[in-house]
Amino acid sequence: MNIVYSAISDRGRVRPENQDTVFLPQRYVNEDHFACTETTDSASQPLFAVFDGMGGALCGKEASVLAAQTLAAQPAGTPFETVCQTMNDAICRFMQENGVKAMGSTAAMVRIREDRIEYCNIGDSRIYLIDGLNMYRLSTDHTVEMPGFRKALTQHLGVPKAEMLIEPHTGETPVKSGGVLLLCSDGLTDFIPEPEIGKIIITNALADAAELLKTEALRRGGKDNISLILIQMQ
């Protein structure tokens, strides 16, 4: 099965650096402004992921890059629960070795096999499936509303085991020809409602939809880093 994907990552209009990292077949990218449209195939069981680093200037960027580096080093087919524990351990080890009190990353990951899509998320980076005219959220937000705050994460990578065991959300769904997956950081979903996101994807070619989603998030303030991957199975 042929797979076409368009990925975009942008620093936005406010943040001093891009703390998001996108993970694509054969490489991962952390740049202030990045875009690509490429192809692969399901025989290689490609992995895609979006990591949204936390920790501000302290180490948010380092956390998302470290998560991507750790994912790249895992043997093919490693269960996502194991991957998340390994990424969590790597970030916690970096914190301990460098005297960092708080840093972390969210994660949204998919692995495409010949007959199914395996997915996993932790935090508030999301995964959607667009099937025909319908868009379904596959991920689960690990957040809680806090007085005086927009939201707070209840799960993320970078939590010492002595404090809490992480519990990533995982699942799988059948591959559907023509279906589109969206992986994204909250720099997209916090500013564009789901129905608008779905309409842009459904009514545009893949690369055009990715660019339009980024442009619309920037138009609405660009207050956060914006990262997304659109993946179409053909």
d(CA 167, CA 63): 18
Identify the architecture of domain 2-233 in CATH: 4-Layer Sandwich (3.60)
Q: Report the pLDDT value the prediction gives residue 57, as an integer from 0 to 100.
A: 59
For the chain, domain boundaries: 2-233
φ, ψ at 146 (rounded to 5°)? -120, 140
Under 8 Å between Cβ of 60 and 54? yes
Q: List CB contacts of 72: < 8 A, sequence separation 6 or more.
A: 23, 28
Distances, alpha carbon 4 to alpha carbons 113, 179, 233, in Å = 14, 11, 7
Q: Report the pLDDT value the prediction gives residue 149, as an integer from 0 to 100.
A: 63
Which pLDDT tens digit goes with each residue over 31-73?
A: 999 999 999 999 999 999 999 999 765 799 999 999 999 999 9
Instruction: Count the helix, strand and coil residues of the chain and give each as a percent rounded to the nearest 5.
Output: 25, 35, 40
> Average model confidence (pLDDT) for the chain?
95
Asked if pLDDT for residue 217 goes beyond 70, the answer is yes
d(CA 11, CA 18): 4
- Helix (H) / strand (E) element for 93: namely helix 80-98
For residue 75, what is the DSSP state?
Answer: P
